[in-house]
Amino acid sequence: MSAITVRVPAKVNLQLAVGPLREDGYHDLVNVFHAVSLFDEVTAAEPADGDLSAAPLRVRVEGDHTGEVPVSDDNLAVRAAMALADRAGRSYRADLLIRKSIPVAGGMAGGSADAAAALVACNELWGLGLPVEDLMEIAADIGSDVPFALLGGTAVGTGRGERLAPLETAGIFHWVFALADGGLSTPRVYGECDRLREEAGVAAPTPAVSEALLAALREGDAKALGQALSNDLQPAALALRPSLADTLAAGRAHGALGALVSGSGPTCAFLAESAERAHELAGLIKDVDGCRAVVTAHGPVPGATVAG
């Protein structure tokens, strides 16, 4: 085949428990990932121009906020394709086209999702036939969120988030995401989390998964899930972007079952009791100051999948 397109979802963190800073610069985490129906698409194609002097991997980006996405070797999708070629032990060529719908630098793992999609697309395009276990191993080396974008569904991640165990989840949950202007740097948010803890004299706890959260997922209980949502990075994100507090307050005031900053932010996530209620809630909060746009989605959904 001359081109392969892969669709890959965004994620929301239902729980993000952040432990102490490790010697390698990462934190021990308990990270409950949930894949939602906001998708990027990555197409890997054989270069059409036949220019062997050109870079073996080239990338273009279309869609929202494309100016914020690198089109160099710093792009996670390019890094993923390069790592895959290295694993295969050969030099391969591909043109990558990323169609963005997942917010950029929004705490929903859009870059990691594109990396996962590039792994799947190039594995197919180049006829490598590597099993998903190999792709997961490569993904973990690229970034902590990349393995989950391959897996999808709902899962708990431990270590720095890359060691995954799928979670039993009943039913479908309905979400509203309030997208903010500009992004937040993940390293900066983690650094602020450490600073706030040090300033308060609070030792970082050993992260542990919430039993209430697990029970709510198993039972498909949206109300209980809303009450169990948590994010240890939220105080840091609010310190760096105080306007997010108003967005969260607006969602709660208009009946969200739960509200939290997604990952390192600045996207705010609201759980609704139904698809209809999600659309109503989106309309009620879309004009809050600092809110660039509002979108609805549902989850869980599958991970990176070749488009049919």
In the chain, what's the furthest Cα-to-Cα distance? 61
Q: Strands 154-158 and 163-166, how do they pair?
A: antiparallel
Task: Report the distance separating Cα 36 and Cα 280, nearest Å.
Answer: 19
Residue 6 CB contacts under 8 Å (≥ 6 apart), including other chains = 41, 42, 43, 44, 117, 118, 120, 121, 304, 305, 306, 307
Task: Give me the catalytic one of 95, 145, 221, 232.
Answer: 145
The reply, when asked if residue 245 is annotated as ligand binding, is: no
The reply, when asked if residue 110 is annotated as ligand binding, is: yes
Given the structure tokens 């390069």, which residue do they identify? 82
* Whether 287 is catalytic: no
Q: Which residues on neighbouring strands pair with residue 7, listed in sequence order?
A: 41, 305
Task: Report the distance separating Cα 298 and Cα 268, nearest Å.
Answer: 15
Task: Give me the catalytic one of 11, 40, 114, 232.
Answer: 11
The reply, when asked if residue 256 is annotated as ligand binding, is: no
Both structure tokens of 76: 């996670």
The reply, when asked if residue 113 is annotated as ligand binding, is: yes
The reply, when asked if residue 109 is annotated as ligand binding, is: yes
The reply, when asked if residue 308 is annotated as ligand binding, is: no
The reply, when asked if residue 104 is annotated as ligand binding, is: yes
The reply, when asked if residue 226 is annotated as ligand binding, is: no
The reply, when asked if residue 103 is annotated as ligand binding, is: yes
* Whether 11 is catalytic: yes
**Binding-site residue ranges for ATP:** 103-113
Enumerate the active-site residues: 11, 145
**Binding-site residue ranges:** 103-113
